[in-house]
Amino acid sequence: QVKLVESGGGSVQTGGSLRLSCAASGYSDNYGSLIPSCMAWFRQAPGKEREEVATNPRYGTTKYADSAKGRFTVSRDSAKTTLYLQMNSLKPEDTAIYYCAADSRSCSEIGRGAFGYWGQGTQVTVSS
């Protein structure tokens, strides 16, 4: 059973930084790979729709939402099963629950938000 566990959320002031982690376990696809082909970060603020923050292919370049460009950096560990989100220069509008997602399909194949596996989310609160 695939499990995604996020950690690292918390409360910071404007301009601060946080690093979120997402550890994937139990993953195995039809090709025998233990590494999710695509992992991603999403967020959902109160009263707003969930939005994609960044998608990270197993091999290739991370794609960022405009709101994340220049401030957020996504990476994976050497085993490529833990996804990180380094968030710098945080703003109050970054306040949201941040979710990790993973899928066996390539990032380009996945429809809007249609990832197969999701974490439980971690709260990020940025105060002014």
Instruction: Tell me the per-residue pLDDT of 49-79, one tens digit each, with 9 for 90 and over.
Output: 999 999 999 999 999 999 999 999 999 998 8
Task: Compute the distance between CA of residue 101 and CA of residue 36 in angstroms, rounded to an integer.
Answer: 10
Per-residue pLDDT, averaged over 93-116, amounts to 92
Choose among 72, 91, 98, 70: nearest CA to 12: 91
Question: Which amino acid type is present at position 50?
Answer: R
* Residues 85, 37: Cα–Cα separation, whole Å: 17
pLDDT at 32 over 80: no
Q: In the predicted model, is pLDDT for residue 28 greater than 80?
A: no
Share of the chain above pLDDT 70, in %: 100
User: Rounded distance, CA 25 to CA 38, Å?
Assistant: 14
**Would you state the pLDDT for residue 74?**
98
